[in-house]
Structures are given as C-alpha cells and as structure tokens.
C-alpha cells in the first residue's frame, strides 16, 4: 500500500522543542533553506571516518509512549512517498525529534542537525546511524560522538571531517549551517558528491581556518572572498569542475594569512593573479592541470613559498627572476606549459630545492652553472626543451641527485666526468641530443644506476660495468 505524507505539518505547537520537522516528505530544520530534492545516490589529515552500518529496521512502535500525548507531528495518507523512505524518516524522527532531551537550534547538536536536515535523504541516511544514536544521550556533549566530529577539551566542535562518506546535494544549501559553530576550525567535506557552487560564506565562517572540498563535483567560479579571506589558512578545492578566472579582491594580499592553496585539476582559465603570488604567508601553491595562461607573476621580496606546482597548463612567458626571492622553495614543478627563454642563473639563492621539473616547455639557452649549488637536489627533469650548450659539469656536486633527465634537447659537448660523483643516481637520460665524445668510465661509479639512456647522440666507447 502506498503511503502519503501531508504537505503541511500539524499547526499545533512544536513537539518537545524539536530542531527538525517533517515537511514535504523530508526532514527539515525549523528554518529550512530552499534546495533541490533530487540527488545521486576532516581535514583532520591522516584518515577518513568510518561509517557504522545503517539500521533499517522499522521502529517497534509509533508514536513511542509518552506521559502526555503531544499533538500529532504529521498525518499519513496514501500515495506520495515510497515506504522505505518513510522508515528512514521515522528512524530520524525517533532518534532526533522525539528524543527526551531537548536539542535547541543554538547548541552544537542543534547546529549539526540543521546541517543534516539540509542534506538529501540519501545523505541523511548515511549519517543517521551515528548521529541519531548519539543525539539524545544524556552526556553533556552528545555531539562529540557524532561521526566525523572532533571536540575541544571543553566540548566545542573543533573539526568536522566527513571525507569519503558519500554525501551529496548542493553544498551551498548545507555547509553554511556549520558556520554557526563558534569554534569550528577545520571543515573537511572532501571525496564526496557535493555539487553546485562553492559557498562564499565559508570565507568568513565562524573560526574556520581550513576548508577542504577536494574531489567533489563543485562547479562555477571560485568566490573572490575565499582567496581574499583574512582568516582562512588552508583552502583545497582540487579535483572539481570549477571554471572561470581566479579572482581576488583588490589589495587583499597584505592582510591575508593563506598558507596552502590547492586548485589543481579543475577548468580554471586566464592569468594567475599577481595578488595570489604576492600572498605574504603563502607556502604551498598548486594550480596544476587547469587551462591557465599568461606569464608566471612576480613574487614578493619576503616570499615564503616552499612548493610551486603549475604543471599541465598553458602558461607562457619567461621564468621570473623574482622566484629567487623564494629562498624556502623545495619543489618547483612547471612541466607541460609554454614557458620560453633562458632559465635565470638564480639557483644559488634557492639552496633548499629538491625537485625541479621543467620538461615539455620551450626553454632555450644553457643550463645555469649555479645548478651545482643545489646540494639537496634529488630530481632534475628538463627534457623536451630547446636547451643548448654543454651539460654543466657543476652538476656533479649535486650528491643527492637520483634522477637526471636532460633528453630531447640540443645539448652539445661531452658527458661531464664529474657525473661519476653522483653515487645515488638511479636514472640518467641524455638521449636525443648532440653530445659527442666517449662515454666516461666514471659512470661505472654510479652503483645505483638502473636506467641509462644515451642513444641518438654521437658517442663512442663502451658503457662501463
């Protein structure tokens, strides 16, 4: 028999100061915001929360016995909603709405439940076993036992990590509810199926400093407020479907505290904003795998960037000399772009570099001799460019080097004997160049070498054992 839920709840007084009411076939907060009714079906870094199995049993009795019979919450009629949905809703109502403990909207439990009520039914079901079971317990802070919630010493919600739970729906309809949590600092909703726009409210959301929304289905542009926020430190929007230009509020850089920005694997276009590169506290910037164009902007005098990743874009122009201001730089990944010109001789100012990837660009000129100053360098990949001149012998000073790939260029001269000093070298590729002379016997000292590519040159001699 089909079951119908009335479109209008009983107009009597709310039952037991409830935080949610049954309306339009869904559990809603007392102040619901409009949203879609269809769907598909933290960062405390270091792990995703586990989900308890959902109890799909029908409640033993409905309504549960009460000393004073309250007004009916809703009437059941024939014809509008599938029976299993009713059972899910009854479970939620049984555990939350009819809890003997009142849950006001301004409490942590009430705020979290308003977020839950804004989710599609399928997502409510995913959180229901944990959140329903703990909503009405008699402990002072029942919300601290909710799936994904981490509380401070005084019972305030400090972090919400629902990564990989499988939640869906329009993010702008659910996430802003969480901004009422006064001490929330970390919000991780990554690896779900959230869609729609990134809520601009997250830029000024209570005390939130970390927002992780990676690996969802978010679309539209990035709100300028988000990257111009004066409270956010970590923003991860990678692996979504965001598009358009990266916009920032004018003169937003001076007071920004942003340290970590990851926007990779979207469909962002246009130039990299100068304000973004000028963020005074920025340490990690990853804009890879987009459609960004134009030159790499200049970096401030007190640049703190440690990792700069811009690979797989359409970035053009020359490498800015101001990159030498970033003395803490350890990772520089620029492959698969359209960068031209010579590499500046600035490596003496970047002594902490460990990884340099310049492959598949249009660099010209010689590799700077100062590359030999990089004693911590582990990987140097500069293949498929237009580099000329000799392979610098100073590279033999890079004793930490494990990968040296200079193939598919126009290098001339001989193979430097000092490459034999690279005792940790595992991969050496010099193929497809114009290198001449004999293969130096010092290569035999590279005992860790497992990949050696020297073909398509003008070399003679034998490969040493």
3-state secondary structure of 438: strand
Domain limits of the chain? 1-220
When mean pLDDT is compared over 121-130, 167-176, 197-206, the highest value belongs to 167-176
Residue 21: which of 62, 73, 86, 84 has the closest Cα? Answer: 73
Report how far apart, in Å, the C-alpha atoms of 388 and of each of 85, 206, 361, 452 are.
69, 55, 14, 21
Record the pTM. 0.79
Least confident of 37-51, 146-160, 299-313: 37-51
pLDDT (tens digit, 9 = 90+) per residue, 7-39?
333 333 332 233 333 333 333 333 333 333 333
Region 398-412: mean pLDDT is: 98
For residue 206, what pLDDT is reported? 80
Distance CA 142, CA 121 (A): 23
Assign 73 a pLDDT band (cuts: 50, 70, 90).
very low
- Mean pLDDT, range 208-214, rounded to an integer: 97
157, pLDDT greater than 80: yes
Give 1-220's CATH code, choosing from 3.80.10.10, 3.30.43.10, 3.40.109.10, 2.70.150.10. 3.80.10.10
β-pairing, 26-29 with 20-23?
antiparallel
Closest of 317, 322, 360, 325 to residue 342, by C-alpha: 317
With 70 as the cut, is the pLDDT of residue 445 above it? yes
Confidence of residue 69 (pLDDT cuts 50, 70, 90): very low
What is the model's pLDDT at position 134? 62
How far apart are the C-alpha atoms of 327 and 331, rounded to whole Å?
Answer: 11
For the CA atoms of 242, 51, 43, 93, the dihedral, rounded to the nearest 10 degrees, stands at 80
Choose between 240 and 100: higher pLDDT: 240
Q: What is the pLDDT of residue 97?
A: 38
pLDDT over 50 at 81, yes or no: no
Separation between Cα atoms, residue 97 and residue 103, nearest integer Å: 8
Residues 6+ apart with CB under 8 A from 384: 359, 360, 361, 407, 408, 409
Q: Give the model's confidence band at 105: pLDDT under 50 very low, under 70 low, under 90 confident, else very high.
A: low
Q: Which of 68-72, 179-183, 422-426 has the lowest mean pLDDT?
A: 68-72
Q: Which of 54-68, 305-319, 342-356 has the lowest mean pLDDT?
A: 54-68
Q: Is residue 435 over pLDDT 80?
A: yes
């Amino acid at each position: 028999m089909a079951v119908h839920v009335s479109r209008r709840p009983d107009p009597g007084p709310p039952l037991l100061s409830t935080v949610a009411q049954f309306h339009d076939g869904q559990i809603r907060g007392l102040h619901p915001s409009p949203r879609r009714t269809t769907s598909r079906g933290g960062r405390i870094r270091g792990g995703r929360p586990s989900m308890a199995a959902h109890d799909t049993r029908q409640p033993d009795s409905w309504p549960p016995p009460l000393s004073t019979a309250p007004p009916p919450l809703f009437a059941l009629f024939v014809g509008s909603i599938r029976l299993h949905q009713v059972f899910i809703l009854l479970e939620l109502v049984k555990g939350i709405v009819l809890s003997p403990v009142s849950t006001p909207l301004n409490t942590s439990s009430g705020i979290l439940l308003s977020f839950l009520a804004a989710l599609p039914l399928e997502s409510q079901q995913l959180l229901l076993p944990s959140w329903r079971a703990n909503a009405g317990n008699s402990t002072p802070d029942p919300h601290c036992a909710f799936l994904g919630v981490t509380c401070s010493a005084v019972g305030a919600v400090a972090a919400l990590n629902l990564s990989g739970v499988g939640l869906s729906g329009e993010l702008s309809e659910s996430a802003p509810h969480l901004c009422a949590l006064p001490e929330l600092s970390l919000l991780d909703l990554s690896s779900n199926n959230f869609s729609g726009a990134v809520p601009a409210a997250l830029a000024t959301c209570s005390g939130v400093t970390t927002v992780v929304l990676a690996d969802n289905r978010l679309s539209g542009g990035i709100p300028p407020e988000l990257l111009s926020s004066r409270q956010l430190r970590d923003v991860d929007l990678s692996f979504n479907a965001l598009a358009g230009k990266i916009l920032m509020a004018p003169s937003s850089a001076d007071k920004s505290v942003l340290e970590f920005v990851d926007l990779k694997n979207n469909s962002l276009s246009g130039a990299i904003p100068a304000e973004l590169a000028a963020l005074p506290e920025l340490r990690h910037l990853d804009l890879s795998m987009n459609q960004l164009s134009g030159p790499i902007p200049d970096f401030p005098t007190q640049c703190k960037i440690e990792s700069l990743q811009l690979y797989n874009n359409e970035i053009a122009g020359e490498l800015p000399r101001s990159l030498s201001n970033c003395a803490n730089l350890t990772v520089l990944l620029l492959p698969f772009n359209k960068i031209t010109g010579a590499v500046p001789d600035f490596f003496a100012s970047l002594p902490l570099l460990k990884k340099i990837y310049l492959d598949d660009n249009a660099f010209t000129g010689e590799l700077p001799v100062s590359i030999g100053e990089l004693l911590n360098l582990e990987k140097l990949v500069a293949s498929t460019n237009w580099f000329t001149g000799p392979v610098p012998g100073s590279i033999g000073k890079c004793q930490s080097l494990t990968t040296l790939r200079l193939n598919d260029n126009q290098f001339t001269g001989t193979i430097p004997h000092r490459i034999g000093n690279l005792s940790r070298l595992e991969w050496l590729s010099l193929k497809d160049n114009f290198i001449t002379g004999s293969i130096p016997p010092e290569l035999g000292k590279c005992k860790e070498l497992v990949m050696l590519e020297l073909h398509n040159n003008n070399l003679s001699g034998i490969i040493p054992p």
